[in-house]
Amino acid sequence: MPDLDQLLPEFVRGGPTDALLGFEEAYTAVYKGEKRYGGFLQHPLYVELKKAQGKKAGAEAPSTKPGAIKAEFIMKRQKKCDEVFAEYLLYASEIVNADYYKDGVTKFVLLYRECLNHFGTRLSEERKKLPEVLTIQQGTTKADLGVKPEYCLENNAEQAPDISNEFMGMYLPRDGALRPEDAKQLTYHFCTWLFVNGYTCSMVSLAQKERALSLASPLSQPQTPALAVAQMQVQPPAKIESQSMSLPPVSTAPAQSLPTAKAQIQPAQKQ
């Protein structure tokens, strides 16, 4: 298992930092002054982050009793994306310095969340093909009531790494809200954190992610690199079309007789 703390550059390490630090500034930078959700205090992620801070104070160590691991797995699969994002912000606030947290991590999480919502329709269709154990839902969702909800409010984080390539190659803004190098490093770190903590079965490759970043300039180009996510999928064999070999027609004409060399005997010369 990778050491998550070592996946970030040494100069950004530090902490602990208040997990709510810089949320208002990141909110303003990401939404360009638009009052989404009525303001940053009503933002679903901010609400979940405040809840997570309260839960962390009274958190107990994971149980090792029989059945506890399965129960923990089910509990994690019931958590919605915003709950998982809040947990990641709490974790990151403990290991990075204040400047990197508010200028990098918080902006990254808000942007990645928006990207998940943006591709939510596609993800919801792909979600139907996943094993039910990976997509456990708790209670009635807005989708069940005929209302189109935000993806992150209704679904767990199993598919979060699936849009990492789209985030780097298509969605990442070019106006300086988040540096591409920070986005690359945090995308890899976040997706690895999801895998290590059992929130997803997908693992992102850093080598592929670096390739995705190099191909993502300019971001407006229509071509997008292959998804940088390693998943256990069996690809159907490529269809091989049979091609018949056309042989030259067999001639039915009679074979021509080949000239034969006849030995000629010369008469002996008189002496």
Q: What is the pLDDT of residue 202?
A: 81
Going by C-alpha positions, the residue among 156, 145, 87 that lies closest to residue 116 is 156
Residue ranges of the chain with pLDDT lower than 70? 1-2, 56-70, 72-73, 123, 126-148, 175, 205-271
Instruction: Please report how many Cα atoms fall inside a 13 Å half-sphere around the Cα of residue 137, on the Cβ side.
Output: 14
- In this predicted structure, what is the pLDDT of residue 64? 62
| pLDDT score recorded for residue 168 | 87
Measured CA to CA, the distance from residue 29 to residue 104 in angstroms comes to 11
The overall pTM is greater than 0.75: no
Which long-range contacts (C-beta less than 8 Å, at least 24 apart) are formed by 143-150?
150/44, 150/117, 150/120
Using one digit for the tens of pLDDT, what is the confidence trace for 82-121?
A: 999 999 999 999 999 999 999 999 999 999 999 999 988 7
Rounded distance between C-alpha atoms, residue 126 and residue 163, angstroms: 12
Contact 177, 149 (CB under 8 A): no
235 vs 182: CA distance, rounded Å: 33
How many Cβ atoms sit within 10 Å of the Cβ of residue 127? 17
d(CA 224, CA 207): 16
Distance from C-alpha of 202 to C-alpha of 204, rounded to nearest angstrom: 7
Token reading at 34: 């638009």
Read off the amino acid at residue 111. L
The three-state (H, E, C) secondary structure of the chain, written as one string: CCCHHHHCCHHHECCCCCCCCCHHHHHHHHHCCCCHHHCHHHCHHHHHHHHHHHHHHCCCCCCCCCCHHHHHHHHHHCCCHHHHHHHHHHHHHCCECHHHHHHHHHHHHHHHHHHHHHCHHHHHHHHCCCCHHHCCCCCCCCHHHCCCCCHHHHCCCCCHHHHHHHHHHHHCCCCCCCCHHHHHHHHHHHHHHHHHCCCCCCEECHHHHHHHHHCCCCCCCCCCCCCCEECCCCCCCCCCCCCCCCCCCCCCCCCCCCCCCCCCCCCCCCC
Distance CA 225, CA 215 (A): 7
Which residues partner with 229 through β-bridges? 204
Report residue 204 as tokens. Answer: 């992102």
Task: Read off the amino acid at residue 146.
Answer: G
What pLDDT score was predicted for residue 153?
Answer: 92
Domain coordinates of the chain in residue numbers? 4-58+65-230
